[in-house]
Structure 1
């Protein structure tokens, strides 16, 4: 069995616990605005690791959490609430790449794209703790962030496995 197949197998085995953990949280709105569903989320794995409290990574993450909602709100309008933005924050080795996306949703609770993104960041911090990688999907918006340097290492490792 190749390393790539082993990695895919491990990811497949990890998916059910992630789904069960997502079911524990509430308050995300269905895309049609008709009810609540748990936020969908993924947290970083072993390669991405964790960051320390009050570290420069956490400071960069706070900057992203404060900046990204305003950026995505400025990119959307009432007639077209779809917006996607990305940002890099900090310097290596604690540089963060983050993105946010708001879809054209009729959900009244998330008519404000910036507010949805801010809430998704709060969920990411709550659900993923001190993970250097997180993604949260609230239906009306999506937020993700990761450690740039560690992601590059992870991609090089995957590339090396594919060459074998």
Structure 2
């Protein structure tokens, strides 16, 4: 996921950043005329109207397992961004038919659509969370070794031998 954002940053910084780019991500597919597709159509029709109240944000729609999430950011005015988001849905549908995840980057907006992953936070920890977990386990292991050492030292000073 992070390398996709890097690609978008490089493309956005290029001199020809007036064109739109679509990147299809993963191999997740939805069936035609499915609940997921109905949710996608509903989001595509309502999200451009919501842009005027929030130039960036996250919006989820539907119920699991047909729940999807859109993340967007506007670079221009509300009307140009609404048109950009609407165009992003249409262009992504043509470039990535029936794909559950895509990234669209236009001149006035950025749009990322993906499956809503309810437990992504728990199953995909960040590097900081991973390091914290390892350090916590090391602290517990060190405390246990210290406890064993003190227990052995206490028995040794009492004159008890094993």
TM interval, shorter chain, is 0.5 to 0.7
1:73 counterpart SS class: coil
User: What is aligned with 2:59?
Assistant: 87
C-alpha distance 114-152 of structure 1, shift in aligned 2 (>3 A): same
Gaps of at least 5 residues in structure 1 are 1-6, 17-21, 23-29, 76-82
Q: CA deviation at 1:139?
A: 2.1
The structure whose Rg is larger is: 2
Whether the 8 Å CA contact 1:73–1:112 is kept in 2: the answer is no
Tell me how large the CA RMSD over aligned residues is. Answer: 3.7
C-alpha distance 103-44 of structure 1, shift in aligned 2 (>3 A): same
Q: Say if 2:32 is the partner of 1:53.
A: yes
Q: CA deviation at 1:117?
A: 1.0
Q: State how many pairs are aligned.
A: 126
Give TM-score scaled by structure 2 length: 0.61
Give TM-score scaled by structure 1 length: 0.60
Distance in 2 (CA, whole Å) between partners of 1:65 and 1:111 is 15
User: What is aligned with 2:137?
Assistant: none
Distance in 2 (CA, whole Å) between partners of 1:45 and 1:53 is 18
User: What is aligned with 2:114?
Assistant: 146
Aligned positions of 1:72-151 closer than 5 A: 72-75=51-54, 83-104=55-76, 112-149=80-117
Gaps of at least 5 residues in structure 2 are 135-162
Distance in 2 (CA, whole Å) between partners of 1:96 and 1:112 is 24
Report the structure, 1 or 2, having the larger helix content. Answer: 2
Q: Say if 2:63 is the partner of 1:63.
A: no
Whether the 8 Å CA contact 1:137–1:143 is kept in 2: the answer is yes
Structure showing greater relative contact order (alpha-carbon pairs closer than 8 Å, 6 or more residues apart): 1
